[in-house]
Protein backbone atom coordinates (compact mmCIF):
# COMPACT_ATOMS: atom_id res chain seq x y z
CA UNK A 1 0.00 0.00 0.00
CA UNK A 2 1.41 3.33 -1.04
CA UNK A 3 0.93 6.25 1.40
CA UNK A 4 0.59 9.57 -0.34
CA UNK A 5 1.07 13.06 1.04
CA UNK A 6 -2.72 13.57 1.04
CA UNK A 7 -3.10 10.61 3.37
CA UNK A 8 -0.58 11.87 5.92
CA UNK A 9 -1.77 15.49 6.21
CA UNK A 10 -4.86 14.66 8.29
CA UNK A 11 -2.71 12.48 10.54
CA UNK A 12 -0.18 15.26 11.03
CA UNK A 13 -2.96 17.73 11.87
CA UNK A 14 -4.48 15.29 14.36
CA UNK A 15 -1.07 14.67 15.96
CA UNK A 16 -0.53 18.41 16.33
CA UNK A 17 -3.98 18.85 17.88
CA UNK A 18 -3.31 16.02 20.32
CA UNK A 19 0.11 17.45 21.26
CA UNK A 20 -1.49 20.83 21.97
CA UNK A 21 -4.14 19.16 24.16
CA UNK A 22 -1.49 17.19 26.06
CA UNK A 23 0.46 20.41 26.69
CA UNK A 24 -2.73 22.10 27.92
CA UNK A 25 -3.49 19.20 30.27
CA UNK A 26 0.08 19.21 31.60
CA UNK A 27 -0.25 22.93 32.38
CA UNK A 28 -3.53 22.30 34.19
CA UNK A 29 -1.94 19.49 36.18
CA UNK A 30 0.98 21.70 37.18
CA UNK A 31 -1.41 24.44 38.34
CA UNK A 32 -3.45 21.93 40.32
CA UNK A 33 -0.30 20.52 41.92
CA UNK A 34 0.77 24.03 42.94
CA UNK A 35 -2.67 24.76 44.47
CA UNK A 36 -2.60 21.43 46.29
CA UNK A 37 0.89 22.08 47.67
CA UNK A 38 -0.24 25.51 48.88
CA UNK A 39 -3.32 24.04 50.61
CA UNK A 40 -1.20 21.35 52.29
CA UNK A 41 1.29 23.98 53.49
CA UNK A 42 -1.53 26.07 55.01
CA UNK A 43 -2.97 23.02 56.74
CA UNK A 44 0.44 22.01 58.09
CA UNK A 45 0.94 25.53 59.44
CA UNK A 46 -2.39 25.41 61.26
CA UNK A 47 -1.66 21.97 62.67
CA UNK A 48 1.77 23.12 63.82
CA UNK A 49 0.30 25.93 65.91
CA UNK A 50 -2.49 23.75 67.32
CA UNK A 51 0.12 21.20 68.40
CA UNK A 52 2.42 23.87 69.79
CA UNK A 53 -0.36 25.37 71.91
CA UNK A 54 -1.53 21.85 72.90
CA UNK A 55 -5.03 22.45 71.54
CA UNK A 56 -7.13 19.37 70.87
CA UNK A 57 -9.99 20.45 68.63
CA UNK A 58 -11.82 17.15 69.04
CA UNK A 59 -12.05 17.53 72.80
CA UNK A 60 -12.99 21.21 72.50
CA UNK A 61 -15.83 20.43 70.11
CA UNK A 62 -17.22 17.73 72.42
CA UNK A 63 -17.74 20.26 75.22
CA UNK A 64 -21.14 21.83 75.84
CA UNK A 65 -21.48 25.18 74.12
CA UNK A 66 -19.05 24.35 71.33
CA UNK A 67 -21.76 24.78 68.71
CA UNK A 68 -22.59 28.25 70.00
CA UNK A 69 -18.94 29.27 69.94
CA UNK A 70 -18.58 27.94 66.40
CA UNK A 71 -21.66 29.94 65.32
CA UNK A 72 -20.24 33.07 66.98
CA UNK A 73 -16.89 32.67 65.25
CA UNK A 74 -18.63 32.09 61.90
CA UNK A 75 -20.69 35.25 62.41
CA UNK A 76 -17.60 37.29 63.26
CA UNK A 77 -15.84 35.90 60.20
CA UNK A 78 -18.79 36.95 57.99
CA UNK A 79 -18.73 40.47 59.45
CA UNK A 80 -14.98 40.72 58.84
CA UNK A 81 -15.40 39.61 55.21
CA UNK A 82 -18.16 42.16 54.65
CA UNK A 83 -16.03 44.92 56.15
CA UNK A 84 -13.09 43.92 53.95
CA UNK A 85 -15.30 43.91 50.87
CA UNK A 86 -16.68 47.34 51.76
CA UNK A 87 -13.17 48.71 52.29
CA UNK A 88 -12.11 47.37 48.86
CA UNK A 89 -15.14 48.97 47.22
CA UNK A 90 -14.34 52.31 48.83
CA UNK A 91 -10.79 52.09 47.52
CA UNK A 92 -9.08 51.47 50.81
Sign of the C-alpha dihedral computed for residues 67, 58, 77 and 38 taken in this order: negative
Examine the domain organization and report whether 48 and 77 are in the same domain: no
Examine the domain organization and report whether 7 and 36 are in the same domain: yes
Examine the domain organization and report whether 76 and 88 are in the same domain: yes
Examine the domain organization and report whether 50 and 80 are in the same domain: no
Start-to-end Cα distance in the chain? 73
Q: How many helices (H) and strands (E) does the chain have?
A: 3, 0
User: Half-sphere exposure of residue 40, counting CA atoms within 13 Å on the CB side?
Assistant: 6
Examine the domain organization and report whether 30 and 7 are in the same domain: yes
Examine the domain organization and report whether 11 and 44 are in the same domain: yes
Query: What's the pLDDT tens digit per position in 3-57?
Result: 566 678 889 999 999 999 999 999 999 999 999 999 999 999 999 999 999 999 8
Q: Which domain holds residue 50?
A: 1-55
pLDDT at 36: 97
Examine the domain organization and report whether 79 and 66 are in the same domain: yes
CA distances to 12, 43, 86, 90 from 37, rounded to whole Å, are 37, 10, 31, 34
Examine the domain organization and report whether 35 and 66 are in the same domain: no
Domains contained in the chain, number: 2
Dist. CA 23–CA 30, nearest whole Å: 11
Examine the domain organization and report whether 48 and 8 are in the same domain: yes
Amino acid sequence: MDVTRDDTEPLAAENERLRARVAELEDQLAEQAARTAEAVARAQDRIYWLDRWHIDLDSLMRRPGAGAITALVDGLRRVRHRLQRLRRRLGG
